Chain A
């Protein structure tokens, strides 16, 4: 219960922030599908309020890593914790116990996820999409949820589109609704899996703008993207993955202008 309100632990400012665990801590995370080892001993750390961009060629395991963070995939080896809490397992007396689906669902509430294909619920309006989880999952009263949902839609610039069904919205608008939907659960961490890859070029900007605003507001974010301009402008750290391993990680400007590894150089020469 104590971790339900992330802002509460931030209030005794400096003292607790210094000792607070990193928002995401991956220790030698591995994931295999059958004999196919997709993630090979990934170790990463994302601090509170930090924006990390994850780049790499297709099939390098970026999506799988994001899905591991909110337990949509089960790790094969290693440990992954969010805000100091182990994901998917409970630790007691040095032993790990698999979590019940209910507990895993509780952990996912605090982690927002935005998908490449938006995955809005097509049978619900934009507003209903945003309201669904706070009502069903958190059990909040409808009137209150509607108010916050409308405010969130306004925040992503879609106040006028609240009653539209996803099919009547452009790709960029759908993705902004999807971001609002994730934010409605007041997550402490947001995961973006190529949020602009399915968009027409002229619609990319509006989604990136919303994400920039979110980053400025202090949200901790992990963003898988091919938008290097965004990474350069917004990211605090950049991680280059290839073949399931972290090839290079560090300051975005440094890596983008002066990549050390040959594979990074080859990849960047293609996307820049």
Chain B
């Protein structure tokens, strides 16, 4: 009853080129019994841990509920977010500069960048933050002017730099060393032919970088940078070394020191960290989509592919050594392509 009638019933006939519909394969699916057993076992273990946790007094869930939106905690969460964002922004800018310096043909510039990386990657961030915290003992004033001459302006370090600022500087300078390597990898991943083409068009080096190389390296730079942002969110808990104590972790430790009930506050802090991490992951997803333009966006370009009827099915992507090529079989050349104009009149 449901079989299709191959003979046309109405007036319209199928075009002769239309191939006969092939019969879908109806086979019994291969079963994976052990996969299922293992999955059920895992779910059982997980649920029992959850149920157990729900009734274990040490977790003190009512306290978790109380403190989750405690003003002190939510303020600390905002401070943590500020520390993360400010230090990452500085680190990314500095990282790009350092990466470009490392790729510079000038040996002095190159060595300077290398030295920076050597120092800031080679020492623990906790130690660096502690040293930054002692900066006012090392340099009691900040002088602006010509070295070894009377300064034009002079500040007291303590007055000029709050512990919040010092925390950001400490985190950013450390992170910049890692960002530099990420950016460098991204720049090196771009086909050298791109720089050559831009240069041949008369573009300056900085135009080539900002318009051609950096936008393309973004695809390589963003995923590990997302990693770094999430890592930074958690590293902010170390700024207690400065000492700066208004971020999430130190704040919740301070509160639990009063209440003698540390576990619910650790849970509260964790929930906030998880919440921010989730938001960052969503942001990363959209950023990645944005910079995949022209490369990984075949499905998204409805506008582009819409005009060429029948082309879409004929597109065979052949990607080799970073130079994407698309071969349209000649038999289904879209009618929208006018024939090549041989007598290019000028």
A residues near B (Cβ < 8 Å) are 70, 72, 101-102, 105-106, 108-109, 111-113, 115, 117-125, 132-133, 136-137, 154-161, 163-171, 173-174, 176, 178, 181-182, 185, 198, 200, 202, 205-206, 209-210, 212-214, 216-218
Contacts and interface: CB of A to CB of B under 8 A. Distances in A.
B340 interface: yes
Nearest to B218: A123
A173 B232 CA distance: 45
Interface in B181-220: 191, 193-194, 196-205, 207, 211-212, 215-216
Interface of B: 191, 193-194, 196-205, 207, 211-212, 215-216, 291, 293-295, 297-298, 301, 303-305, 307, 315, 317, 323-328, 330, 336-346
A181 B200 CA distance: 11
Nearest to B215: A123
A185 B201 contact: yes
Contacts of B340: 156-157, 176, 205-206, 209-210
Given A108-B200, A108-B202, A168 B337 contact: no
Contacts of B196: 72, 115, 119
A212 B343 CA distance: 7
Given A122-B324, A168-B326, A169-B326, A109 B191 contact: no
A70 B212 contact: no
A168 to B, nearest CB: 6
Contact of A170 (B211, B294, B328): B328
12 contacts: A115-B197, A119-B197, A123-B294, A137-B203, A157-B338, A157-B340, A163-B303, A170-B327, A176-B340, A185-B202, A205-B340, A216-B343
A213 B197 contact: no
Nearest to A170: B328
Contacts of B304: 163-165, 168
Contacts of A161: 337
A160 B338 contact: yes
A73 to B, nearest CB: 11
A20 B327 CA distance: 44
A113 B199 CA distance: 10
A101 B203 CA distance: 10
B109 to A, nearest CB: 15
Nearest to B339: A157
Closest 7 CB pairs of A and B: A213-B344, A109-B202, A165-B294, A119-B197, A217-B346, A133-B201, A119-B193
Given A133-B202, A160-B336, 12 more contacts: A106-B202, A117-B191, A121-B198, A121-B216, A123-B216, A137-B201, A137-B207, A156-B341, A167-B317, A167-B326, A173-B337, A210-B340
Nearest to A109: B202
Nearest to B335: A160
B315 A168 contact: yes
Contact of A105 (B194, B202, B212, B342): B202
B204 A117 contact: no
Contacts of A101: 204-205
A117 B203 contact: no
Q: Which of A72, A105, A166 has most chain B Cβ within 10 Å?
A: A105
Contacts of B298: 167-168
Contact of B344 (A113, A118, A217): A217
Given A123-B295, A216-B343, A200 B327 contact: yes
A117 B323 CA distance: 7
Contact of A159 (B293, B325, B338, B346): B338
Given A156-B341, A163-B303, A102 B323 contact: no
